[in-house]
Amino acid sequence: MGLSDRLKSGFSTFTLVFIAVAIVINIAVGQLVSLLKLPIFLDSIGTILVGVLAGPWAGAITGLLTNLIWGLISSPVAAAFAPVAMVIGFMAGICARYGLFKTWWLALVAGVVITVFNAVVAVPIRLYMFGGITGSGADFVTSYMLALGRDLFGSVVITVFTSNLLDKVVSALLVWGLIKALPGRTTSRLSRSEATLS
C-alpha cells in the first residue's frame, strides 16, 4: 500500500484537502520569509494548524510533505529538515490533546513545548549536514555567537532554540487566533476525523 492509499484510508477527504491547503500556506509564507532573510521562519503555521485540528499524525504528514515538496520545488535545505517539520506537526497535535490551544497563553506554552522538541531534532541536522550554516536569516545568530568565542555546537544550539522559540510561539499564537476565527462546523469536522484515528 502506497503513501497515497494510506492517506486515503486514514483520513477523510475533508482532512486531505485541509492538509493540501496547509502545505500551500507553509510554502508560500516560508518562501516569502526566506526571500526577505528574516530571522524567523513562519513556514509551519499550516502544519501546526492541521496538528491541532486533525491530530498529531495529520500534522506530522503535513510537515513531512511540505518540506519534501518545497525541497523538490526550490530548496533542497527544506527537504533535509523534513524530520523537524514532522516533529512540529506531531507535537502540535499532542499539545492540542492536552488542551494547550484553549487560550492564548496556553498556546504560548505550546509554542515553547514545540520549540524544545524541534531543537532536539534540528540541531544535529544543522550541525552535521550543513556545518551549522543553512543560508537562512538565523545564520546571523550563529555567526554572532561564533564571533563571541562560542564553539560551533553551542552557537548552533543557541541559534536553533532562540530563532525557533520566537517562530513557534508566534506561529502557535497565530494558529490559536485562526482557530477562533474558523466556523465551528469546520473545526468539528476535523475533530471527528481525528477521533476515528485515535
Residues whose CB falls within 8 Å of the CB of residue 13, separated by 6 or more in sequence, listed in order: none
- pTM score over 0.85: yes
Residues whose CB falls within 8 Å of the CB of residue 125, separated by 6 or more in sequence, listed in order: 80, 81, 83, 84
Report pLDDT digits (tens) over 39-58: 678 999 999 999 999 999 99
Report pLDDT digits (tens) over 147-173: 888 889 999 999 899 889 999 999 999
DSSP string, 135-146: SSTTHHHHHHHH
Distance (Å, rounded) from C-alpha 137 to C-alpha 144? 12
Which of 28-42, 65-79, 154-168 is the least confident region?
28-42
Q: How far is CA 37 from CA 15, 41, 146, 196, 198, in A?
A: 32, 9, 20, 41, 40
Number of neighbours of residue 55 by Cβ within 10 angstroms:
28
What pLDDT score was predicted for residue 193? Answer: 53
Q: What angle do CA 106, 120, 90 make, to 5 degrees?
A: 50
Q: How far is CA 170 from CA 6, 155, 195, in A?
A: 32, 23, 28
Residues whose CB falls within 8 Å of the CB of residue 90, separated by 6 or more in sequence, listed in order: 51, 56, 57, 59, 60, 63
Q: Look at the block and give the residue holding cell 493540501.
A: 20
What pLDDT score was predicted for residue 196? Answer: 45
For each of the domains in the chain, give its residue range(s) and CATH number, in order of start.
Answer: 3-197 (1.10.1760.20)
What pLDDT score was predicted for residue 198? Answer: 45
The pair phi, psi for residue 123, each rounded to 5°, is -60, -50
Q: Which helix (H) or strand (E) holds 60?
A: helix 56-73
